[in-house]
Chain A
Amino acid sequence: MELWSLLWGGGGCSLLGPPSSAGRSVPAFKQLAQPRSWPAGAEQRRSQDFLGNQETAIMAGKPTLHYFDGRGRMEAIRWLLAAAGVEFEEKYIATPEDLDKLRNDGRLMFGQVPMVEIDGMELVQTRAILNYIASKHNLYGKDLKERALIDMYIEGMADLNEMIIIFPIHPPGEKEAKLALIKEKTTNRYFPAFEKVLKSHGQDYLVGNRLSRADIHLVELIYNAEELLPGVTASFPLLKALKTRISNLPNVKKFLQPGSQRKPPMNPKSLEQAKKIFRLP
């Protein structure tokens, strides 16, 4: 399997444990959990965290995000929730055992994270989660045709974002070539496409003259690209303007400030931790 899919998919580990008899309204494997034993101190700390956060989350009806403490594939979900003004909790996967527990409890449909608890469901698959949140919060266009345009744009963004997400994981020897590829795609394929869309209608938002998820995802992508390639937006004035405009929306502005749930770029330490969690070499 590709290195990238190993990282986020959690390797070739199969879905462990026998199927459950206890059903959930959502189609996930769930089995009557046989708790693992781990050091008493850790358990206590964990259950305190768990009860504290979980009770609050359940009472407030807040979504709970399950992922490691880093961007990866969950970051787009954090951006979208934040932009929609939705408060959310996070339960961090800090060790391989944490991930095992989620799998053994049958909470990860395909054995993978991201997983988001929301509205009584345990959702997996980044796109499915994003689609749900966008629909629920009216950020998915007004009709089927607007939705199709949004989908087309965001799928292109996802392709570029994928390269950026994976970039830190490449071995040092490959990094230069990968960075050159990202630069090439950003400046020759993706940014020109979106600049053209904005130019073609001259409106403030990508689709339907109204804020949608497409604008949120694009601005996130612009920030991500600029971190890797400073100044890359210089020759795309309309993208620059969109970035400024969206960044000034109150919810987004708040998310961009220190102390928000936005995660920093990966550093060598967080990369090591992620590799440990997903049991990567």
Chain B
Amino acid sequence: MAAKPKLHYFRGRGRMESVRWLLAAAGVEFEEEFLETREQYEKLQKDGRLLFGQVPLVEIDGMELTQTRAILSYLAAKYNLYGKDLKERVRIDMYTDGTLDLMMMVAVGAFKPPAEKEETSAKTRYFPVFEKILKDHGEDFLVGNKFSWADIQLLEAILLVEELDASVLSDFPLLKAFKTRISNIPTIKKFLQPGSQRKPPPDSHYVAVVREILQF
């Protein structure tokens, strides 16, 4: 039996959360080793396990993968969540890239003064695009009438932005329906329940731990 993937990261969302979502949605059990001290982090680096000295790190299939997008692409392909051909794949890439841009802005937002409004970007640049995509084909999933990484990434982004602005979907009825539909997929439903490996929004303690470990 194959060993479970093992995630190395802080005990929080950050850049690893999308990886947790994808694994959970694919029904893949995984382990986590949480970075809690500077020493642990330095050990990973000294042991040469972090190609560019950074986390996320995922041990999977005999590899030590870093770089969030590399990890996500590998998992999407491995678990058949990357479309059926190159043209579907490029659409998934476009959608996930856009969504990840939005989410990276939100993720680093926790470390900044509360000046910027990422939820505005969501409302004006990103969500209208996805609403239109769903409207144009009238299907349940974003690409190829089949559940893919793009759907998982979009749901994650929607929930993330809703935490900043609960009414952000008020002008997007199809996204609202999409959110309900994808949330009800059994593996995702399970992940959304308390006790799962989903992490809570960053709080000041989390920010402090990360700053201490990464020394910034």
Contacts and interface: CB of A to CB of B under 8 A. Distances in A.
Interface string B87-128: 101110111011001000100000000001000110011101
A202 interface: no
A217 B124 CA distance: 33
Interface in A151-191: 151-153, 155-156, 159, 189-190
Interface string A142-156: 001101110111011
Contact of A155 (B67, B95, B105): B67
A86 interface: no
A121 B135 CA distance: 19
Nearest to B70: A151
A12 B69 CA distance: 25
Interface string B138-178: 00000000000000000000000000000000000000000
Q: Helix, strand, loop or mixed for chain A's interface?
A: helix
A144 B90 contact: no
Nearest to B120: A12
Contacts of A156: 51-52, 67
Contact of B97 (A128, A152, A189): A128
Nearest to B75: A148
A132 interface: yes
A1 interface: yes
Interface string A102-142: 00000001110000000101011111110110011000000
A250 interface: no
Given A27-B91, A147-B77, A155 B124 contact: no
B89 to A, nearest CB: 7
Interface of A: 1, 5, 12, 14-15, 19, 23, 26-27, 29, 109-111, 119, 121, 123-129, 131-132, 135-136, 144-145, 147-149, 151-153, 155-156, 159, 189-190, 193
